[in-house]
């Protein structure tokens, strides 16, 4: 019973990490995009939050063979299914750095318990050996999950920078033109916001943004 609960919890943890990755990418990018537009109200923040949650649900349920509502108790099968998807969307350099950090932590904490382990060493059955090997593979999978989250966050900042640069250019141009015309009665946002929205609509921004969010998953 406890083993079944553990496996179910492990499956849920994988799905939660995948959801968190999609949510981080979408929410961080849209937050930067919102600041670029100059929309600071809490209402827009709630809209961004809801859209990010829906996007994360859509990505995980579509891009991975594991359904969010799956009740599979076989964690090894779930891990084998989602590993290719996560690996395809994770920076290899980030994985190497995390594995190096994990090895340092393992050596540090293992050294403290080496003597106690020798004193209480017992004969390990084949079943226990298989459990140990599965635990070691699970450690590697945890590194992969963390690398996936960090990669998603890095991509989110890259996308946010890509979207906010044109808005910053528009702000600078509007301020410069207003200074030349000596217009001081109105704020720069009154002119820049319509121009930003016009540019965003002209290039079909929502479609481009959504495609850019999902293209990495679709290509995996």
114, HSE (Cβ side, Cα atoms, 13 Å): 7
Q: What is the pLDDT of residues 38-95, one digit of tens each?
A: 888 888 889 899 988 888 877 666 655 555 444 444 556 666 766 777 777 777 777 7
pLDDT in tens, 123-145: 444 544 454 444 444 456 677 77
Of the listed ranges 1-5, 53-57, 178-182, 203-207, the least confidently predicted one is 1-5
Average pLDDT over residues 175-193: 83
Domain regions of the chain by residue span: 2-162
Neighbour tally for 22: CB within 10 Å: 23
- b/e code 178-188 from CB counts within 10 Å (16+ = b): beeeeeeeeeb
Greater model confidence, 19 or 69: 19
| pTM confidence score | 0.64
Please determine, for residue 5, whether its predicted confidence score (pLDDT) is greater than 60.
no
138: nearest Cα among 78, 96, 90: 78
CB 152 within 8 A of CB 22: yes
Strands (E), 3-154: none
Greatest mean pLDDT among 16-30, 63-77, 106-120: 16-30
């Amino acid at each position: 019973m406890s083993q079944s609960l553990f496996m179910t919890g492990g499956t849920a943890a994988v799905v939660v990490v995948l959801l968190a990755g999609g949510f981080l990418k979408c929410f961080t990018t849209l937050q930067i995009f919102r600041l670029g537009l100059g929309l600071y109200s809490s209402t827009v923040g709630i809209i961004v939050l809801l859209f990010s949650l829906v996007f994360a649900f859509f990505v995980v349920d579509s891009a991975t063979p594991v359904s969010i509502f799956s009740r599979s108790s076989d964690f090894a099968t779930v891990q084998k299914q989602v590993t290719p998807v996560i690996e395809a969307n994770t920076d290899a350099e980030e994985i190497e750095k995390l594995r190096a950090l994990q090895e340092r932590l393992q050596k540090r904490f293992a050294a403290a318990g080496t003597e106690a382990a020798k004193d209480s060493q017992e004969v390990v059955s084949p079943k226990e050996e298989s459990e140990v090997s599965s635990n070691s593979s699970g450690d590697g999978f945890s590194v992969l999950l963390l690398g996936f989250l960090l990669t998603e966050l890095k991509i989110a900042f890259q996308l946010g920078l890509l979207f906010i640069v044109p808005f910053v250019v528009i702000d600078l141009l509007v301020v410069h033109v207003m200074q030349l015309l000596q217009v001081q009665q109105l704020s720069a946002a009154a002119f820049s916001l319509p121009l930003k929205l016009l540019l965003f609509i002209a290039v079909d921004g929502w479609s481009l943004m959504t495609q850019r969010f999902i293209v990495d998953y679709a290509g995996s």
